[in-house]
Amino acid sequence: MNLDDIRSDIDRIDRQLLQLLSDRADLVHEVGVVKKRDGLQIYAPEREQALLRKLVAMNTGRLPEKSILAIYREIMSAALALEDDLKIAYLGPEGTWTHQAAIKKFGHSVAYSAQPNFSEVFDQVSRRKADYGVVPIENSTEGAVSHTLDLFVDSQLQICAQILMRIENGLMASIPREQIRTLYSHPQVFGQCRNWILRHFPEADLVEVSSTTRAAEIAREKASEGAAALGGPLAAELNGLTLLEECIQDRATNTTRFLVIGEKTCPPTGNDRTSLLFAIHDRPGSLVRALQAFEHFDINMSKIESRPSKRKDWEYIFYVDLAGHCEDPQLRESLEALEKHCSLVKILGSYPDTGE
Ligand SMILES: C=C(O[C@@H]1C=C(C(=O)O)C=C[C@H]1O)C(=O)O
């Protein structure tokens, strides 16, 4: 076949694809009508998850899993945007890792709303100015994002999905490396790059700012004072900075887990994770007995964190992640057992235990 013949075949397939996409959008619209009638949420992370898994398993062609996921993310994003003016709040400005995680989950067709800090993200969703929020919860190198943990204590919002994202930070500036005197970044990123900073910039001042994109803005504005930023490539690109070095985090597999927060949690998918917080009575053995509630019902606990309660000095709140959905009978029973040892138990949500 010559080039013209092949291209005319591609044109024919594109016409079919377009028709199929349009037919698909009509069906998603029908689903939307039913959901609105029945008072259901338009966005269904459990359905998206199942669909993506099924598509990847069905795929026998030459496109890799990553491409199938990216293409379908955008197809679903476009369909969602037609149904509802879906708005997603995230920690801005544009280009932060949280923004990139939000796009990974919701695609490019929905609306995004940049917020100056995590509490504003919670606030926007609580006041229904945004439908969902995206917040980081923990990083595989630096650990918990404590501000996010604290915000869950007084919030009525629920977790409905998680996003796992590989974080590759870089050094960015508009000046040569030798002129750098001050490094700007988010505290989490300083923690992820601690050894690299000690090796390469032991003398530099480190200044914590609200986000990596804010750091990049300052690196642009204060270049003449020797400013540089640590963050993601998108923040560099949006601020016209040069990436002087890539992948500077101390661990190559540096990954952040982000949460999608909304008004409702997600129905069971068969592979779920449940997050909750609890406070124990101040007496000997309380924590052991609380945790035995999980062991007794054979529930796997994949994570535990503690934070000061902020109500009373030296009183703590524990955050745990459990395998399973809060509607699973076994998990329900273990939570009932847990309540006997606690002054507070709050389920933060159950959601698919995958990262797409
Ligand atoms: C179509 C649905 O609604 C939304 C759109 C989806 C899609 O485009 O496939 C999937 C899940 C939902 O976020 C559905 O729930 O089935």
Confidence (pLDDT) at 315: 82
- What tokens does 201 get? 């910039």
The amino acid occupying position 135 is V
What fold characterizes domain 38-166?
D-Maltodextrin-Binding Protein; domain 2 (3.40.190)
- The residue among 355 and 175 whose pLDDT is bigger is 175
C-alpha 85 chain-centroid distance: 21
DSSP 8-state symbol, 133: E
DSSP letters of 273-313?
EEEEEEEE-SSTTHHHHHHHHHHHTTPPEEEEEEEE-SSST
Mean pLDDT confidence for 172-194: 97
What are the sequence ranges of the domains in the chain? 38-166, 170-253, 267-352
Mean pLDDT confidence for 99-120: 95
CA 183 / ligand 1 centre spacing (Å): 43
ipTM at complex level: 0.92
Confidence of residue 356 (pLDDT cuts 50, 70, 90): low
Confidence (pLDDT) at 317: 94
Return the residue whose CA atom lies nearest to atom 7 of ligand 1.
76
Rounded CA Rg of the chain: 23
- In the three-class reduction of DSSP (H, G, I as helix; E, B as strand; rest coil), residue 338 is classed as helix
Indicate the CATH number of 267-352 among 3.40.50.720, 3.40.50.1100, 1.10.10.10, 3.30.70.260.
Answer: 3.30.70.260
Q: What is the pTM of this model?
A: 0.91
Return the residue whose CA atom lies nearest to atom 1 of ligand 1.
28
**Substitution candidate for ligand 1 out of 48, 69, 109 with most atoms within 8 A of CB:** 48
**Substitution candidate for ligand 1 out of 54, 76, 356 with most atoms within 8 A of CB:** 76
Q: Do 170-253 and 267-352 show the same overall fold?
A: no
Q: CB neighbours (10 Å) of residue 340?
A: 11
Confidence (pLDDT) at 311: 82
Confidence of residue 286 (pLDDT cuts 50, 70, 90): confident
- Active site members: 256, 258
CATH code for the part of the protein at 170-253? 3.40.190.10
Residue 48, ligand 1, Cβ within 6 A:
yes
Residue 80, ligand 1, Cβ within 6 A:
yes
Confidence (pLDDT) at 309: 87
CA 44 / ligand 1 centre spacing (Å): 6
Phi/psi of residue 207, nearest 5 degrees: -120, 120
What is the C-alpha to C-alpha distance for residues 275 and 261, in angstroms, rounded to an integer?
12
